[in-house]
Structures are given as C-alpha cells and as structure tokens.
C-alpha cells in the first residue's frame, strides 16, 4: 500500500538556542495537530543544539555549515563568506529535493541561507521574529518574506507594516497548563508548601552572572526562608552542585537542566530569569512575577529591549547584568516581601500573553500555502 501523500510540506529553519528551537517545534506540532498528513523538515546549523533537540522531538533535520559573525577577528569570520555560499547552495538542493509549500524561519544562523534560497525559488516564506528588537538577519530577510509574525507591538520600525501580524511566541503546550499543577510540582521537587519558592533560570545554556549571584546569596535564601529551584546550565553544574549541597536541607534544588519546566513554573512564587524571547513568553503565559537579568552577550542587546518592553508596562523588575552580584538578591527580597507588587506584576505580565501563538502562526503558514 502506497504511503499517504502529504497534504502540506513545510521547512522550518533556525535554531542555536532553546529560545529558537522550542517555538519551531511548537509550530510543527500545531501544523500536524490540524492535519496529521503535514510533512515537516527542519534545517539547522551543524554542531548546534537543534541537531540533537529536533530529532529527539521526532522530526528530521538537515544541517548547514553556517555560523554567526564574531565580534573579533577569528577563523570563523574569515570562513564566513565560504560558509554562506556553501549553505545557500545546500539550501537550494534541500528545497529542490523536498519541494516545500512554505518555508518558515524562526531565527538563528540557518534561517538566513534557507529563507533566501526558498524565496529565490518562489516558495512563500514566513518569518517568526521572537524579540522586541529585530536581528540583522530577519531585517534583511523581510524584503523576501510573505508574512512576518511578531511577539511585540511597534515592529513597524524594523519590517514592512503590511507584512506584520502580532501572534506572540509559541510555547510548549505543558507550560500553558502549569498553574493547575502546584501540588504535584512541590512533591516533584520535594519542597514544602509552607515556604515561598524562587525559580532561577538562565536559559537553555545557563547564565554565568545569575549563577554567581545565586551562589553568593545561598545563605541569604536560607536565612529568609526561601526555597530555591536553581537551573544552572550544564557548564556550571559541577560547581553549582558543590555550592548547593550544604543548603539542600533548607530547600535548595540545583539542576543543570529542567526538563519539567511546567512543574518548575507551577512551584514558583517568583522567577529570576534571563530575558530571552522564549523565557518572557513563558512567563507571560504562566503569569509569574519576575526579576529579569538580561544577557549583555547577545546581538543588538535585544534581551535588554525585551525586558524593557515588560518593565515599561510594570510587568517585571529589571536588574542589569553588571549589577546582579550586588543587587539581585536585594531586588528579589524586596519583591518577595511585597505581595501587592507581586500581584500587580503577575496581572500585568499575564495580560501580555498570547496563548494560541502556535496555532495562529500555523494558520498563516496554511494560508500562504493556499490551504
């Protein structure tokens, strides 16, 4: 018996961090939830996180030999023109062989060559811009894009207004259901229901400044009676485990990576986080008061701009990376002691949530394909 013909064929490109990969997977799942005959192929950058995470989610992926431009003179920078030409050539072959109805770019190194090649081949393209400040690649690609899905208002300063639709950022389905799981979450992390819980996340790769700030303040958490779920990232795991061990009895739970993020959010009263697009979208969905520490090591300082989009609406507290070791715990402590401010931040951040972002983006993909 012949295999059933796909009703829709979509390429999704990009990656580099969880902030790009998880929304991409959410879009793929929304497309297939609407029609299981949809065939999705991912295109990522060789040796980046997506080459593991995407197959783990059950999707095929092709890797391109592409990387970003470094801020200093490196061999990678000298090789960039060669990588770009090679990646565009491979992207053209992928498009020719797969014959997609639509190509979607979620940001990250691979989205540039793939979307450019797709547009040149006459394939409708959709950009999913996750940040409040558009990156150079997406600004350049916008001239070729058929539709641009954004997560923040005011993106006309980066993109043609007639192509923009406000959809928000897709988040994992289990995150949206986190609020109902608090009792389960406290049991999972072996925490007391009688003491407040702080969740600290530095993104999928961890955050050195946040980790150092937390490590130096562990005795303050103990004195204040705050329990802590501390995601360190793999690179800090060994050091973090050694630092956390003396405080485990008082409710410190150190983990390199938290797979059950829905339970981590459900357990938390307040969250300390970087200001990546995915993290902010998840915080909006779960409606948690947050202290944001934007990473200074990202292009165009877009995490600070993401954070300010919330701070300006009284939806989060900001602590700058350079001041974190001195001020992070004090800012957290002030928020933990002010229940009225916690409620106001929670209400305001919840009002910014886009719960159906994955389904909205999937609908625009289908529209571009004429489905």
What is the H or E stretch that residue 104 is in? strand 102-105
Nearest to 199 by CA among 89, 94, 279: 279
13 is in an annotated binding site: no
How far is 166 from 149, CA to CA, in rounded Å?
Answer: 6
203 labeled binding residue: no
Cα separation, 210 vs 272, in Å, equals: 8
Please tell me whether 204 is known to bind a ligand: yes
Give bridge partners of residue 147 from the DSSP assignment.
126
Q: Is 131 annotated as a binding residue?
A: yes
Question: Length of the chain in residues, anyone?
Answer: 371
Which tokens hold the place of 178?
């986190």
- Answer left, alpha or beta for residue 29, where phi above 0 means left and psi between -120 and 50 means alpha: alpha
Which has the closest alpha carbon to 189: 256, 258, 285?
258
Q: Is 19 annotated as a binding residue?
A: yes
Asked if residue 91 lies in contact with residue 118, where contact means CB atoms within 8 angstroms, the answer is yes
- Known binder of ligand: residue 18? yes
Tell which residue, 229, 245, 250, has the closest CA to residue 182.
Answer: 229
Backbone angles phi, psi at 273, to 5 degrees: -150, 155
Binding-site entries for UDP-N-acetyl-alpha-D-glucosamine? 17-19, 131, 172, 204, 258, 303
Binding-site entries? 17-19, 131, 172, 204, 258, 303
């Amino acid at each position: 018996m012949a295999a059933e013909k796909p009703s829709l064929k979509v390429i999704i490109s990009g990656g580099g961090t969880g902030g790009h990969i998880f929304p991409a997977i959410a879009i793929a799942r929304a497309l297939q939830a609407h029609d299981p005959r949809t065939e999705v192929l991912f295109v990522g950058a060789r040796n980046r996180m997506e080459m593991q995470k995407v197959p783990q989610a059950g999707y095929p992926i092709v890797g391109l030999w592409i990387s970003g431009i470094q801020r200093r003179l490196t061999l990678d920078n000298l090789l960039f023109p060669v990588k770009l030409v090679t990646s565009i050539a491979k992207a053209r072959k992928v498009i020719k062989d797969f014959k997609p109805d639509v190509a979607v770019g979620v940001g990250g190194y691979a989205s540039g060559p793939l979307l450019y090649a797709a547009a040149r081949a006459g394939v409708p393209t959709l950009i999913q811009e996750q940040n409040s400040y558009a990156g150079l690649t997406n600004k350049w690609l916008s001239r070729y894009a058929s539709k641009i899905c954004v997560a923040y208002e005011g993106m006309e300063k980066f993109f043609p207004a007639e192509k923009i639709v406000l959809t928000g950022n897709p988040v994992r389905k289990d995150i949206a259901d986190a609020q109902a799981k608090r009792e389960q979450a406290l049991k999972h992390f072996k925490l007391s229901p009688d003491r407040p819980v702080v969740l600290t996340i530095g993104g999928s790769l961890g955050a050195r400044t946040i980790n150092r700030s937390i490590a130096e303040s562990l005795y303050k958490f103990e004195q204040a009676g705050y329990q802590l779920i501390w995601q360190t990232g793999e690179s800090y795991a060994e050091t973090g485990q050694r630092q956390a061990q003396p405080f485990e009895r008082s409710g410190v739970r150190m983990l390199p990576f938290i797979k059950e993020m829905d339970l981590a959010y459900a357990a938390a009263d307040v969250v300390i986080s970087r200001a990546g697009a995915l993290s902010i979208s998840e915080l909006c969905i779960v409606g948690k008061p947050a202290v944001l520490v934007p990473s200074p090591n990202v292009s165009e300082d877009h995490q600070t701009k993401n954070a300010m989009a919330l701070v300006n609406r009284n939806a989060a507290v900001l602590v700058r990376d350079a001041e974190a070791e001195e001020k992070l715990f004090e800012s957290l402590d002030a928020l933990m002691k002010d229940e009225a401010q916690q409620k106001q931040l929670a209400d305001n951040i919840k009002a910014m949530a886009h719960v159906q972002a994955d389904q909205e983006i999937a609908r625009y993909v289908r529209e571009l394909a004429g489905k």
